[in-house]
Amino acid sequence: MDIIQITGLAVIAIALINVIKPQRPELGIMLSIITGIIIFMFVASKITIVVSYINNFAEKANVNTVHLSLLLKIIGISYIAEFASEICKDAGESAIASKVELAAKVIIVAMSMPIVGSLLDLIVRIMP
């Protein structure tokens, strides 16, 4: 029944933001940031459960833990970048939002390069 709580929270937040925004637009943005953080904290424990299940399955399937932890890191980076770029868009700065997204993509590609390299090594070894 968490979704009902979250819906109520969202409705209350919208009411407050609509009251505050005409007078103090900068505080309205802060309110929306705080609302996003509160909603994430609501579901944080559930994400932890899912991640621990994924780790268990990977252990059973003998997947290399380095690759799995890299995947989880990429999920975290993209979540934070999404958060930041949505806030920037809400504040009317879509240029900064697209730069944040670009930075996240560059960081993810740079992090995943070692895995691409190991894949290429494997292909070279297989080829005669």
Partner 1 sequence: MSVDILFKIAAIGIIVSILNLVLKHSGREEQAMLTTLIGLVIVLMIVAKELNNLFNAVKTMFNF
Residues in touch with partner 1 (CB under 8 A): 9, 12-13, 16, 19-20, 23-24, 26-28, 30-31, 33-35, 37-38, 40-42, 44, 47-48, 51, 69, 72-73, 75-76, 79-80, 83
**Residue 60: CB minimum distance to partner 1, A:** 19
Q: Please, what is the minimum distance in Å from the beta carbon of residue 121 to partner 1?
A: 26
Q: Which is nearer to partner 1, 16 or 101 (CB)?
A: 16
Sign of the dihedral defined by the CA atoms of residues 11, 32, 93, 21, in that order: positive
Taking the least distance from each CB to partner 1, the nearer of 26 and 127 is 26
Under DSSP, is residue 128 helix (H, G, I), strand (E, B) or coil? coil
- Sorted by sequence, the CB contacts under 8 Å of residue 104 that are 6+ apart come out as 77, 78, 80, 81
Q: Supply 91's token pair.
A: 């504040």
Residue 50 vs 120, nearer CB to partner 1: 50
Q: Which is nearer to partner 1, 13 or 63 (CB)?
A: 13
Q: What angle do CA 17, 90, 4 make, to 5 degrees?
A: 55
Residue type, 82: E
User: How many whole angstroms separate alpha carbon 78 and alpha carbon 63?
Assistant: 23
